[in-house]
Structure 1
């Protein structure tokens, strides 16, 4: 196991958050499943279109949850704190 880099905010017992990455992945799932749902509906595959539409809805709900958690985190941190995509 590699030692933790100096100045890292997360620890083994309390890792830093990956909310930004989770938001990007939820957006990707929403867009890709939404587009594929429309394409499969046009190809007369209603079951596949329904499954993809449900997955797109899950991505949308996940985005809302992540955005609420990011807002809560922003209220508790000092002003001017920025997070990269992976923290």
Structure 2
């Protein structure tokens, strides 16, 4: 699997990317934290099905964090050292 700063064939350039990776990262972290907390709470309350569903959602959020970080790293290699909150 090759990693590019953005998928091939999509609109956008290195200077004007099409996706907001930092926003996606923040939402994924929020989803990971909330899903994990609610999975633990659901498990303690005896709602095992809801707890497992939330645990799977937390796993998906963790995978998304890894994917976003790989894209951000690929973009940083192309663009250079410039740090920006709004990549």
TM-score norm. by structure 2 comes to 0.77
> How far, CA to CA, are the matches of 1:78 and 1:25 in structure 2?
25
Structure having the higher Rg: 1
Instruction: Report SS of the residue matched to 2:35.
Output: helix
Deviations 1:30-69 (A, max 9, x none): 0000000000000000000000000000000000000011
TM-score norm. by structure 1 comes to 0.77
Equivalent in the alignment of 1:26: 28
Aligned residue among 70, 73, 78 for 1:76: 78
Does residue 69 of structure 2 align to residue 55 of structure 1?
Answer: no
Stretches of 4+ moved more than 6 A in 1?
A: none
State the aligned residue count: 73
RMSD between aligned alpha carbons? 1.3
Which residues of structure 2 form unaligned runs of 5+? 1-10
